[in-house]
């Protein structure tokens, strides 16, 4: 169930939770076990953020490629 919840996190949610994990780790005062659990959670959150960013990069690259593959000259529907 936790994996499904992680997959449903938006980029912003994962980034904010990751920032909170980093703050807690930087503040210290945690046991080694607590620190390790937080570190592992941070790693999972960072991976979620990276997946979102990779997806965004792929969409952007596809949009740019589509735009550069479409000849603008003589195309009445071209926005420019």
pLDDT digit string (tens) for the chain, length 80 residues: 455 566 689 999 999 999 999 999 999 999 999 999 999 999 999 999 999 999 999 999 999 998 887 665 555 555 54
Write down all domains in the chain, each with its CATH number in brackets. 9-62 (1.10.287)
What pLDDT is recorded for position 67? 87
CA distance 19 to 37: 15
What pLDDT is recorded for position 80? 45
Q: Nearest-CA neighbor of 10 among 58, 57, 53, 61?
A: 53
């Amino acid at each position: 169930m936790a994996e499904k919840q992680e997959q449903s996190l938006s980029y912003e949610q994962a980034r904010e939770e990751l920032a909170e994990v980093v703050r807690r780790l930087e503040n210290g005062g945690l046991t080694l076990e607590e620190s390790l659990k937080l570190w592992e959670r941070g790693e999972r959150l960072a991976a979620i953020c990276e997946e979102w960013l990779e997806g965004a990069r792929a969409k952007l690259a596809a949009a740019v490629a589509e735009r550069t593959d479409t000849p603008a000259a003589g195309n009445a529907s071209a926005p420019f």
